[in-house]
Structure 1
């Protein structure tokens, strides 16, 4: 009888452990997805910044050129 109880307990423990492992795996996957999303966002932001910088440079150079040409 006691052995049976122990076995049941062991089984329960195993089940709980398995569930915990699954949860951990899911959490890890979610974290990875979040990280990837963040990375993508960062890349987009960087691209936007670069574009803005390029535009600014173009504008500045244009104005300088115009000023020089006017002079």
Structure 2
């Protein structure tokens, strides 16, 4: 085996090197920002779902207790109690949906403003 290896030296202009480095850095930054945005959105969704589940559980306990007290103690007809409970639950669901939509929209606006400022 002969040791006639040749080393080829390629001269690359400094401008090309700078452009490549800048493009690589920008791509990495964009990927990092996108990943962070996804993480923030997922965390917000998880927190909202957990809060909704906790509030819904507490609401069910309160509703059952109130219905039992009203039907047994106050002797209000069951039909009236059921209608009132259904109306209250519909209002609560609408309020929760509106709150969730507002939170998601606000988070998205903050993320977009943060992204455009950089």
**TM-score computed with the length of structure 2 as normaliser:** 0.50
Could you tell me which runs of 5 or more consecutive residues in structure 2 were left unpaired when the two chains were aligned: 1-10, 76-118
| Equivalent in the alignment of 2:56 | 50
Could you tell me which runs of 5 or more consecutive residues in structure 1 were left unpaired when the two chains were aligned: none
| Equivalent in the alignment of 1:65 | 71
Instruction: Give yes or no for the alignment of 1:29 onto 2:32.
Output: no
Query: Which of 42, 45, 48 is the aligned partner of 1:39?
Result: 45
Q: Distance in 2 between matches of 1:39 and 1:7?
A: 49
Return the offset for 1:65.
3.3
Task: Work out which structure has the larger RCO, using CA pairs closer than 8 Å and 6 or more positions apart in sequence.
Answer: 2
| Structure 1 stretches of at least 4 aligned residues deviating more than 3 Å after TM superposition | none
Count of residue pairs the alignment pairs up: 64
Return the offset for 1:45.
0.9
Return the offset for 1:66.
2.9
Structure holding more helix per residue: 1
